[in-house]
Amino acid sequence: MAFFAAQNLRHAVPVAAVRTVVQGVIAPELARAVASHPDAALAAQTALTAWSVGRRIVSQIHSEASASVANRAFGGEEAAATRSLPRRVWQGVQSVGILGGDFAAMGLTIAARQQPALASVAQAAAALQVVAHLQAQFREALRPAINTVHVGNPHIPQPADGRNLRPGDMPVSMRTTFGLAAAGIDMGAQLLMKHTLGGKAAWEVSRGLAVRAGAIAGAGNMLTSSVEDHLVDSASARRMQASDPSHVRHLHGDLRNPFTRGELGRQAERADTRIFNTVVPGLIAIGLIEAMRPALAKSGMNDASRQATEAGVHAAVAGLVGGALLALTVASYQLNDTVRSHNAKRRAPTQVP
């Protein structure tokens, strides 16, 4: 429990606080603008998309500059250093998913001008777009500020085959555990938010209520991130202990400057992964819920049951996608962390004896 508590401490500001501000303050304002000032909303969405494209280019440069290191890290040290295809395919999928989400959100904003019936889904997509981008960017910028758990004994030789996880280190049971945990946390957060907002969208209520709902989303995001890190740290410890039993988890305070060249490159790549993991399930959930609403309205279901059904759909999508993508998510994170470390060592001044 001490390690899980430490992970939550680590995520309190970069995850919970950032999500509170982004989802509780910024996203509702953009969603309101979709209906009241569509030109301004579209300009903001276009700027986000342009920033995203630029960041994706920086991200790709970051990994391609050390392609052999990136290839091996992505495959958990099992992949051949010259085999770039699996890594590049996944990075391409992320690019398509992120850009697809951006263009879908902008397209809905444009379409809602002519078809007011699309306003609600356009607002939801715009809110999702800004949450995904800003949360990922600010979270990664703040991430180096506090690291609380470290795996491994730095005073003994490290595993000869590296410390990065391989697909086999993340079995179906681990992915299922994370998917179920993510779904359960999301279900609870969705129900609490709907209760707080009275079943309305955040942009349809007072700003105070929207901030409260954002805080609930932030707490849920913090717990989900901590579960993910806890599972990954446990898997890392198991892998490293095959070479020496002293490679265990331990509390570890660490502070790094987030504005160095290496950190900025790492942030770009990790932000892409987080945006993809937010946009894809988010858009799927929005589409499913919008498609279900006419049937729910005809069923005569009361508001509480309808809200629970919508929360369940959102939670199911979050759990299924989160669990399914866990291994690829971890591979992406260890890729950019390994490249950052490699580049830092390469730029370090040579010690003269």
* Residue among 218, 180, 165, 176 at smallest CA distance from 196: 218
* Residue among 248, 226, 223, 239 at smallest CA distance from 171: 239
Burial class (CB in 10 A: 0-12, 13-18, 19+), 2: exposed
Any residues with CB less than 8 A from the CB of 240 and at least 6 apart, and which?
151, 152, 158, 159, 163, 247
Q: Model confidence over 101-116: pLDDT tens digits?
A: 999 999 999 999 999 9
Q: Model confidence over 304-345: pLDDT tens digits?
A: 999 999 999 999 999 999 999 999 999 998 888 788 778 777
Specify the pTM.
0.90
Q: How far apart are CA 240 and CA 207, in angstroms?
A: 48
Sign of CA dihedral 276, 279, 284, 285: positive
Any residues with CB less than 8 A from the CB of 247 and at least 6 apart, and which?
151, 152, 153, 156, 159, 237, 240, 241
Q: Model confidence over 217-253: pLDDT tens digits?
A: 999 999 999 999 899 988 988 888 887 788 877 777 6
Q: Are the C-beta atoms of 339 and 72 separated by less than 8 Å?
A: no
More confident residue, 244 or 91: 91
Q: What per-residue confidence (pLDDT) applies to 80?
A: 61
Q: Model confidence over 160-202: pLDDT tens digits?
A: 666 788 888 899 999 999 999 999 999 999 999 999 999 999 9
